[in-house]
């Protein structure tokens, strides 16, 4: 793999969803609520099909495939889903500290790789629409959770400082296990205490990040609630 990075380079690997991008709000506003309303899908069936689509690498096309497996007749056609996709606004969910952080990293001499889990075509729509491609050197996607270590493994013997920031403990643990010299940051964006305000809205507002945050971490990672807390 041609990484364009030299063995002595300082390298920053950064996740996209829930790290740079408020994926929960995007999901709620642009996907979940409009899809439930437009296609009259039962909530439990939508959630089941969404989870299955995520495991396969989310895209609207994959979501339709998963709906077809559990609902007969399927509530929408391929053309319906394509039309639905044309109305999605991808460009307003970037966390406000994302670009300033990447600019700072560049000023401090880091090479930057955006390393994201998901279907490349779908992830590109989010990444390119918010313009994050302008601030990184390389963008790579993986459709298998926990597979980011396959990319980071080649940097295990680099002499430059290497930082990996993600909200997913599965990927962080895999990297720390195989590449202990890589500095890992577990980012958990703040949200209201679910134990004290366990409303239905809060459950769906943080539907995805909440489930990810509940996973047990096997290794120690530096923790932060925003990118300003990452020490470059």
- In the chain, which residues have pLDDT < 70? 1-3, 191-198
Q: What pLDDT is attached to residue 204?
A: 75
Token pair recorded at residue 133: 């491609």
Measure Cα distances from 153 to 110, 123, 176, 177 in Å.
18, 23, 10, 10
Query: What digits encode the pLDDT tens for the residues 13-51?
Result: 999 999 999 999 999 999 999 999 999 999 999 999 999
Euclidean distance between CA atoms 103 and 202, whole angstroms: 32
Measure Cα distances from 35 to 78, 81, 197 in Å.
14, 9, 26
Spatial contact of 110 and 12, defined as CB atoms under 8 Å apart: yes
Q: What pLDDT is attached to residue 1?
A: 39
Spatial contact of 211 and 34, defined as CB atoms under 8 Å apart: no
Euclidean distance between CA atoms 159 and 21, whole angstroms: 30
Q: What pLDDT is attached to residue 142?
A: 87
Per DSSP, helices labelled H in 57-206 are: 60-70, 78-86, 98-107, 120-129, 149-152, 169-178, 200-205
Q: What pLDDT is attached to residue 198?
A: 62
Spatial contact of 194 and 202, defined as CB atoms under 8 Å apart: yes
Give phi and psi for 223, each to the nearest 5: -110, 145
**What are the start-end ranges of the E strands in 157-218?**
162-166, 183-187
Token pair recorded at residue 119: 């279907």
Distance of CA 94 to the CA centre of its chain: 12
Euclidean distance between CA atoms 122 and 158, whole angstroms: 32
């Amino acid at each position: 793999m041609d990484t364009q990075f030299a063995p002595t380079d300082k390298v920053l690997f950064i996740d996209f969803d829930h790290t740079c991008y408020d994926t929960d709000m995007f999901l709620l506003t642009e996907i979940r609520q409009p899809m439930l309303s437009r296609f009259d899908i039962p909530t439990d069936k939508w959630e089941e099909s969404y989870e299955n689509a995520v495991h396969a690498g989310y895209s609207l096309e994959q979501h339709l495939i998963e709906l077809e497996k559990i609902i007969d007749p399927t509530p929408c056609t391929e053309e319906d889903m394509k039309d639905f996709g044309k109305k999605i606004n991808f460009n307003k969910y970037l966390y406000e500290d994302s670009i300033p952080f990447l600019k700072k990293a560049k000023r401090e001499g880091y090479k930057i790789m955006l390393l994201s889990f998901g279907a490349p075509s779908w992830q590109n729509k989010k990444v390119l629409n918010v313009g994050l491609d302008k601030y990184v050197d390389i963008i790579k996607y993986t459709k298998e959770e926990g597979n980011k270590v396959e990319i980071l493994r080649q940097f295990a013997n680099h002499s430059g400082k290497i930082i990996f920031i993600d909200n997913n403990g599965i990927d962080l643990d895999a990297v720390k296990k195989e590449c202990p010299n890589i500095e890992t940051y577990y980012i958990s964006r703040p949200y209201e205490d679910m134990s004290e305000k366990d409303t239905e809205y809060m459950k769906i507002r943080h539907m995805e990040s909440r489930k990810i945050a509940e996973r047990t971490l096997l290794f120690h990672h530096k923790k932060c609630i925003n990118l300003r807390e990452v020490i470059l």
